[in-house]
């Protein structure tokens, strides 16, 4: 099967699949919201539904058409090559001239329908269904009651002998109903599953022009299932207000994605700055960690020096105390009155004729002068001594503060290895953030392009509403405003042998009776 992907394709496929699932199978009009064909035609406007009875292997057994004419007024004219015609609305008989079919509708309101068994037309598709049980090929008639691992291969290909228009304009959906109490471990990779009660319906979709083989596998027990149903209709449909809402919604989404991309790009710029900062931080922390042994040694040396300084300053302070004692003693010796008396006495003794007395007086005056000089020096040093005393006190406080600081620094430097490792991890993580954000931006841009593409797909769907619809029964003559195909295989049922009241088994039904049983209760059939 051809692989198909992409946001836009999925959107289109979902929309079309939902519409296909709502396709009526009773021959009523699908014309609501579908524009009539634009080409000229001789026939009365109608809706055309082609019903095909398929064999279990996919071969065509019988084709008939239900033509529905909405609100006819007067004569109804249609065209087609039918083996038999049945009026499904009233008892009026048709007039048939070759392929021209005329009914006298009589101005009736509502919908006029008639049924015809079609001949001479090739279906646009060729179907082939094959079945395997535990690897062994089975005929369709041998499926009923089978147990084991069942494999179904559903093949669809274009019929080269049919009109190209339908192959290129119509999409096909195949629905396979499986009873959950008889089928388990279902494998159907390309199917859309719809579960309702005990029934799992597997829906496969082919877009116009596509071919493929779909695979279904399941573990079955006394196998039975309903018939495989195939519906085909034009892919270009009118979505009306839904289409307009979708277009507007996708436009808003594209605009929102643009804003999201811009915001993410700004985030990426911030991530680049963060990564650069984390790198610089790691470099600084790593350098500190590398030099932490030297720093610890320096802190120890500095602390030792401060201790020695404090000790020396204490000793110096003790010397200062002794110096002050000397100052006090000298000051006591040089009291002003005593000093003046000594000076006067020494001056008097200098006049004594005795040389020894004069020598003693000179010595006394010299001693007094020296003491005065020492006292003046000590008094001049008092300010410096006071400042130095403050320095000693400050050094002691600094030593105490640094002791606490050095303890914290040692703990910090000891744990610097872990800090460096954490900073390195953060730097490495931050370094990949811009690239990861770029991936996010690339994904957002891809999503934006997908949204734009999906909007284009919606536009294509809505733009196709004015394309000409071609009748399958009689192209160019019949006036079809909608054409749809409904095809079905017979169900797989374990046969029952009914017994008549008199004890005899009922006779087998002919082909036409079985055909009627197949569609009875689902479609309006002829009264043959």
What percent of the chain stands above pLDDT 90? 33
Q: What distance in Å separates the CA atoms of residue 82 and residue 461, rounded to the nearest whole number?
A: 33
CA distance 165 to 339: 143
Poorest-confidence range of 23-32, 284-293, 311-320? 23-32
To the nearest whole number, what is the mean pLDDT of the chain? 77
Cβ density class 187-216: b for 16+ within 10 Å, e for less: ebebbbeeeeeeebbbbbbbeeebebebeb
pLDDT confidence band for 278 (50 / 70 / 90): confident
According to the model, what pLDDT value does residue 181 have?
92
CA distance linking residue 432 with residue 410, whole number of Å: 34
Among the residue ranges 276-290, 339-353, 367-381, 405-419, the one predicted with the least confidence is 405-419
Task: Give residue 31's pLDDT band: very low, low, confident or very high (50, 70, 90).
Answer: very low
Q: In this predicted model, which residue has the larger pLDDT, 314 or 18? A: 314
Contacts of 302 (CB under 8 A, 6+ apart): 402, 406
455-514 pLDDT, tens per residue? 776 666 555 545 678 999 999 899 999 999 999 999 999 987 665 555 555 555 554 455
157-166 pLDDT, tens digit per residue, is: 999 999 889 9
- Name the pLDDT band for 320 (thresholds 50, 70, 90): low
CA 59 to chain centre: 44
DSSP string, 126-187: EEEEEEEETTEEE-GGG-TT--EEEEEEEEEEE-TTS-HHHHHHEEEEEEEEEETTTEEEEE
Overall average pLDDT of the 64-79 stretch: 89
Strands 229-234 and 170-179: antiparallel
SS (H, E, C) 415-479: CHHHHHHHHHHHHHHHHHHHHHHHHHHHHHHHHHHHHHHHHHHHHHHHHHHHCCCCCCCCCCCCC
**How high is the pLDDT of residue 115?**
95
- pLDDT score of 204: 95
Q: Give every strand in the sheet of 46-54, ordered side by side.
A: 82-87, 111-118, 60-70, 46-54, 480-488, 229-234, 170-179, 199-206, 192-196
| Strand ranges of the sheet holding 100-104, from the earlier edge strand across to the other edge | 75-79, 100-104, 95-97
| Nearest-angstrom CA–CA distance, 240 and 139 | 46
- How would residue 62 be classed by pLDDT, with cut points 50, 70 and 90? very high
- pLDDT tens profile 391-445: 666 666 666 666 666 676 666 666 666 776 777 787 777 777 788 888 888 888 8
Residue 111 burial by CB count (10 A; 0-12/13-18/19+): exposed, middle or buried? middle
pLDDT of residue 41: 66
Give the alpha-carbon dihedral of 210, 212, 217, 220, to 10 degrees. 80
What's residue 134's pLDDT? 96
CA proximity to 6, closest of 456, 441, 462, 464: 456
Q: What is the pTM of this model?
A: 0.54
Query: Do the bridges between strand 212-220 and strand 125-133 make them parallel or antiparallel, or are there none, so unpaired?
Result: unpaired
SS3 at position 80:
coil
pLDDT at 395: 65
pLDDT of residue 28: 40
Confidence (pLDDT) at 457: 66
The domains of the chain are located at: 7-236+467-491, 264-423
Residue 419 corresponds to which tokens in the numbers above?
């800090």
Q: How many residues does the chain have?
A: 528
Residue 142 confidence (pLDDT) above 80: yes
Whether the predicted pLDDT of 388 surpasses 60: yes
Among the listed ranges 142-156, 242-256, 304-318, 403-417, which one has the minimum average pLDDT value?
403-417
Q: Is 28 helix (H, G, I), strand (E, B) or coil?
A: coil
410/284 Cα distance (integer angstroms): 18
């Amino acid at each position: 099967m051809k692989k198909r992907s992409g946001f836009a394709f999925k959107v289109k496929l979902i929309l079309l699949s939902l519409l296909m699932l709502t396709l009526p199978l009773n021959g009523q009009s699908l014309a609501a919201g579908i524009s009539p064909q634009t080409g000229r035609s001789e026939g009365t406007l109608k809706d055309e539904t082609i019903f095909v009875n398929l064999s279990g292997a996919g071969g065509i057994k019988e084709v008939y058409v239900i033509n529905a004419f909405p609100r006819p007024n007067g004569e109804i004219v249609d065209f087609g090559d039918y083996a038999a015609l049945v009026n499904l609305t009233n008892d009026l008989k048709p007039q048939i001239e070759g392929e021209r079919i005329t009914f006298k509708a009589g101005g009736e309101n509502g919908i006029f329908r008639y049924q015809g068994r079609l001949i001479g037309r090739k279906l646009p598709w060729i179907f082939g269904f094959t079945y395997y049980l535990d690897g062994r090929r089975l005929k369709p008639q041998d499926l009923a009651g089978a147990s084991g691992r069942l494999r179904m291969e559903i093949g669809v290909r274009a019929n080269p002998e049919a009109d190209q228009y339908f192959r290129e304009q119509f999409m096909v959906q195949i629905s396979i109903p499986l009873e959950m109490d008889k089928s388990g471990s279902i494998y159907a990779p390309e199917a859309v599953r719809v579960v309702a009660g005990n029934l799992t319906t597997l829906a496969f979709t082919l877009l116009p022009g596509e071919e493929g083989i779909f695979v279904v596998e399941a573990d079955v027990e006394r196998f039975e299932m309903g018939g495989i149903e195939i519906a085909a209709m034009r892919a270009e449909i009118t979505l009306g207000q839904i289409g307009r809402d979708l277009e507007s919604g996708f436009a808003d989404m594209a605009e929102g994605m643009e804003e999201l991309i811009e915001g993410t790009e700004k985030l990426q710029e911030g991530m680049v700055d963060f990564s650069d900062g984390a790198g610089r931080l790691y470099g600084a922390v790593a350098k500190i960690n590398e030099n932490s042994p030297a720093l610890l040694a320096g802190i120890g040396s500095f602390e030792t020096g401060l201790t020695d300084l404090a000790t020396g300053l204490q000793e110096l302070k003790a010397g200062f105390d002794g110096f002050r004692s000397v100052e006090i003693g000298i000051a006591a010796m040089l009291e002003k009155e005593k000093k003046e008396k000594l000076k006067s006495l020494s001056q008097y003794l200098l006049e004594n004729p005795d040389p020894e007395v004069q020598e003693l007086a000179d010595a006394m005056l010299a001693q007094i002068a020296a003491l005065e000089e020492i006292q003046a020096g000590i008094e001049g040093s008092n300010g410096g001594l006071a400042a130095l005393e403050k320095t000693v006190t400050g050094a002691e406080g600094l030593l105490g503060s640094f002791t606490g600081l050095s303890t914290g620094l040692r703990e910090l430097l000891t744990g610097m290895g872990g800090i460096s490792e954490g900073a390195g991890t953060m730097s490495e993580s931050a370094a990949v953030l811009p690239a990861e954000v770029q991936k996010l931006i690339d994904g957002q841009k891809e999503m934006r392009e997908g949204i734009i593409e999906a909007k284009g797909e919606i536009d294509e769907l809505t733009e196709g509403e004015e394309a000409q619809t071609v009748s399958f029964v009689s192209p160019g003559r019949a006036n079809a405003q909608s054409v749809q195909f409904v095809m079905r295989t017979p169900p797989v049922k374990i046969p029952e042998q009914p017994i008549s009241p008199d004890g005899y088994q009922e006779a087998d039904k002919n082909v036409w009776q079985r055909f009627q049983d197949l569609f009875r209760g689902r479609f309006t059939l002829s009264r043959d």
